Structure 1
Amino acid sequence: MEVKRIATNVSHFLILSLAINVFTSSTPKTTATAPVSYTNYRAFVKTACNATTYPMMCYNSLSSYATAIKANPIKLCTTALSLNVKVAKEASSVVSKLLKKTQKPYGGGGSIQRPETLILRDCLDEIKDTIDELKQATVEMKNISRSSGDKGERVTNARTFLSSALTDETTCTDGFDEMTKVNADTKKKVKKVILNLSRTTSNALALVTALRY
């Protein structure tokens, strides 16, 4: 009888163990909380963004890249610059489309230019310069980890390019402030995209400036 009772207990134990294993394996892993490392990476991005001019804007744009950035300040800056270039290209597209609308064709094969045509053309040139400067700043940042040269000099170069880009963006809308007879809707659209661009560049500059080399 004792042997039979022991056998029964062992059988119950095996059945219980099997049930636990089945339950555990069938429970979705996605219900678990986020890994500590991912949480820490987001915290790193948030802390870095708190030192920028527009911290919420900075965090909203970069937090989704936290896993790729990890806690690498160079990666943080290069990611911010890549997004900066994307915003600049979007601004260029908006201004380019507005410029085309200001040039009304007429019978002689030429065009009638509106007062804001020249402003938009100059603005477009400024944005193109901005894109080039942002790309050069990106190259400087990427070369920090590739080169054994003066890292401090590369950071300084990146800051210079970003500062120049910020100046070009500000210059882009100066013409609208100096000329009163311009299309109000066009002026509003350009100012909106340039404001977004300048804030993005300002944040990128702050992140690069925070580097210590």
Structure 2
Amino acid sequence: MSRFVILSLVLVVLINSLTIPTIAATPPARYLNYETFVRTACNTTTYPTMCYDTLSSYSSTIKSDPIKLCTTSLNLNVKAARNATSVVSTFLKKAKSTSSPEVAILKDCVDEMKDTVDELKQAVADLKKLKGGGSSKDEHLKNVRTWVSSALTDEGTCTDGFEEGKVNVETKKMVKKAVTKLSRTTSNTLALITNYLR
């Protein structure tokens, strides 16, 4: 066999090896895009876009773990509740300085907001105990739902107060905006807990 023929055969083998598709090991689908899990979960909530915008940046931490999903949502909910409390407290301080008639309404709202923060923190504490399993798991899960439901009720009580009394228009607008945003966050958290924790 001539050197030319040998070289030709080697060349053919090399060309064929280059055209053979490479098959790489593919990881399980659930690991390909954790954002999909978060998006799917958020689609079960009342405000899915808000839910996804809030949680998507934490998808690599949440992965596809329902407890991590709900824990992350709850922790962000506590932060949102503190922010809302701060907003209402600021308006209360301004109202006190001018002896405005809405002082009592704002004070009640601040109290409701503080209760909301405490209830959400209690929910976080009970959520941490879910991994124990057994009957205690069911009890802690029930407590989590109760705490978050109570927080949602308190948020509603706060905004209801502004419908019943005379309050500065701008104050009413800003407080309702802050508390309504919080209520939507809490509603989404409750939906995630209800739909993803068993």
For the Cα contact (< 8 Å) 2:67–2:197, is it kept in 1?
Answer: no
Structure 2 residue corresponding to 1:199, chosen from 172, 177, 184: 184
Deviation at 1:155, TM superposition (A): 1.3
Q: Helix, strand or coil: the match of 1:172?
A: helix
In structure 1, distance between residues paired with 2:194 and 2:61: 21
Structure 1 residue corresponding to 2:93, chosen from 100, 110, 113: 100
Match of 1:144 in 2: 130
Deviation at 1:211, TM superposition (A): 2.9
Q: Which runs of structure 2 are paired with 1:119-138 in the superposition (5 Å)? A: 119-138=105-124
Match of 1:33 in 2: none
Q: Helix, strand or coil: the match of 1:115?
A: coil
Match of 1:89 in 2: 82
Match of 2:170 in 1: 185
Structure 2 residue corresponding to 1:115, chosen from 101, 110, 118: 101
In structure 2, distance between residues paired with 1:151 and 1:174: 35
Identity %: 59
Give the structure-2-normalised TM-score.
0.81
Counterpart code for 2:129? N
In structure 1, distance between residues paired with 2:138 and 2:105: 38
In structure 1, distance between residues paired with 2:72 and 2:146: 18
Match of 1:209 in 2: 194
Counterpart code for 2:176? K
Q: Structure 1: state its 5+ residue gaps.
A: 1-35, 105-111
In structure 2, distance between residues paired with 1:210 and 1:64: 21
Matched, 1:57 2:43: no
Deviation at 1:204, TM superposition (A): 0.3
Alpha-carbon RMSD across the aligned residues, in angstroms, is: 1.5
In structure 1, distance between residues paired with 2:32 and 2:47: 22
Deviation at 1:199, TM superposition (A): 0.2
Q: Structure 2: state its 5+ residue gaps.
A: 1-28
For the Cα contact (< 8 Å) 2:44–2:191, is it kept in 1?
Answer: yes
Deviation at 1:148, TM superposition (A): 5.5
Q: How many pairs align?
A: 170
Give the structure-1-normalised TM-score.
0.76
Runs of 4+ in structure 1 off by over 4 angstroms are 36-39, 146-149
